[in-house]
Copies of this chain bind each other. A is one copy, B any other.
Amino acid sequence: MKEVLRSDNSEIDNIINYLTENSGKMIRPRMVFLTASMSAHDPVMVTDAAVAVELIHLASLIHDDVIDHAMIRRGRESVNKRWGNHASVLTGDYLFASAFNLINQHGMQEIMENITTTIRIMCAGEIKQMALACDLNVTEDQYLEKTYGKTACLFASSCKVGALAASMPSEYVYNLEQFGLCLGYAYQIIDDLLDFLSDSSLLGKPVGTDLLEGNITLPVIHALRNNEYGPWLRALLESGELTAQQIPEVIEVLIHSKAVEASLQSSRQFIARGLAYLDALPASPAAKELQHMAVYMLETYYQKLNQYKHPISREVAQ
């Protein structure tokens, strides 16, 4: 990744070095690798496709941080905090251009089509969803539509890109894309739960940040629908006076209204649906690893981050 991003000036290299020092979970490039590994493939082409997908993810994170004035990313100062908005917007653009440049070197026209379309969906979706911020009547369908643009479409694209880079037959490509899509939904739901249930030190941001910023996620949608707790939560959110001090109370409501349980259930269903797409493909070590990745997300990632807190939600998760 560093090699692809090398420039002839030290200013951008400093930022790139900082970014690549702390690489995150690398879920998306791993998906590219694993899907491609289910079939014979050119390792250089697949590596470059995986790097390109991670660059696009990184670019969108940097731009998101500028937009949200985020000070922390992956437990460290964000690029905008350290180098300012100017350098951050440009670095994001630089990463996008580098990703396309890399894909183009292999003449992977179908992959380029998929990735550019995915970015259009991500951007258009995010702009559309800005209108839904703070809307307490947002439905589960609207939440899923938002999640599609925010997370699921790039997960789907990562799997599709891996399958295309390995020149798989179209029914394999379809199944893997659907697997990625389901995994993306499941992942985002878990991420939205952890925003309430994990620890701020593990999250790298204060607990309840999403809700404080007006992002109405699935557990909140479920809790608002609850006869017993919904009216209290609605009144609190409508008052516009929610503060970080009230988040622990909100969390109790999410647990007792079974909103956490219902959201986890949704995530589980997506994982199950994704695994079914995978099961339809021939068994292989790579397919097994993809399966593990999906199960890990729910059973390990979620429970690990959540294990020291909220015994009720831990029970639910089991």
Binding site for B on A (CB under 8 A): 7-9, 11-12, 15, 59-60, 63, 66-67, 85-87, 89-94, 96-98, 100-101, 104-105, 107, 109, 112-113, 116-117, 119-120, 122-128, 130-131
Which residues of B are found within 8 Å of A66, using beta-carbon distances?
66, 85, 89
State A109–B92 Cα separation when bound (angstroms): 23
State A262–B87 Cα separation when bound (angstroms): 32
Which residues of B are found within 8 Å of A119, using beta-carbon distances?
93-94, 96-97
Q: Are A116 and B100 in contact, with the CB atoms below 8 A?
A: yes
Q: Are A101 and B116 in contact, with the CB atoms below 8 A?
A: yes
Q: Do A11 and B131 contact each other (CB < 8 Å), given the known contacts A85-B67, A100-B100? A: yes
The winner among A97, A109, A112, A117 for most chain B CB atoms within 10 A is A97
Q: Are A109 and B120 in contact, with the CB atoms below 8 A?
A: no
Interface of chain A, main secondary structure: helix
Which residues of B are found within 8 Å of A87, using beta-carbon distances?
127, 130
Q: Are A127 and B85 in contact, with the CB atoms below 8 A?
A: no
Which residues of B are found within 8 Å of A90, using beta-carbon distances?
63, 67, 123, 126-127
Which residues of B are found within 8 Å of A60, using beta-carbon distances?
93
Could you list some 13 contacts between A and B, CB below 8 A? A8-B124, A12-B123, A63-B90, A67-B89, A87-B127, A87-B130, A89-B89, A93-B119, A96-B97, A97-B117, A97-B119, A100-B116, A101-B116
State A63–B89 Cα separation when bound (angstroms): 7
* Contact among B12, B116, B122, B125 for A127, CB-based, below 8 A: B12
Q: Do A116 and B130 contact each other (CB < 8 Å), given the known contacts A7-B124, A9-B124, A67-B85? A: no
Closest to A106 in B: B109
Q: Are B97 and A128 in contact, with the CB atoms below 8 A?
A: no
Q: Are A112 and B120 in contact, with the CB atoms below 8 A?
A: no
Q: Are B91 and A123 in contact, with the CB atoms below 8 A?
A: yes
Which residues of B are found within 8 Å of A125, using beta-carbon distances?
9
Contacts A12-B128, A93-B122 known; list 18 others, CB within 8 Å: A11-B127, A15-B127, A63-B93, A66-B89, A67-B85, A67-B86, A67-B90, A87-B130, A89-B89, A89-B92, A93-B96, A93-B119, A94-B120, A96-B97, A96-B119, A98-B120, A101-B112, A101-B116
8 A-B pairs with least C-beta separation: A101-B116, A97-B119, A94-B123, A104-B112, A90-B123, A67-B86, A9-B128, A7-B124
A210 to chain B, nearest CB (A): 15
Q: Are A104 and B97 in contact, with the CB atoms below 8 A?
A: no
State A107–B12 Cα separation when bound (angstroms): 30
Which residues of B are found within 8 Å of A107, using beta-carbon distances?
107, 109
Which residues of B are found within 8 Å of A85, using beta-carbon distances?
66-67
A187 to chain B, nearest CB (A): 21
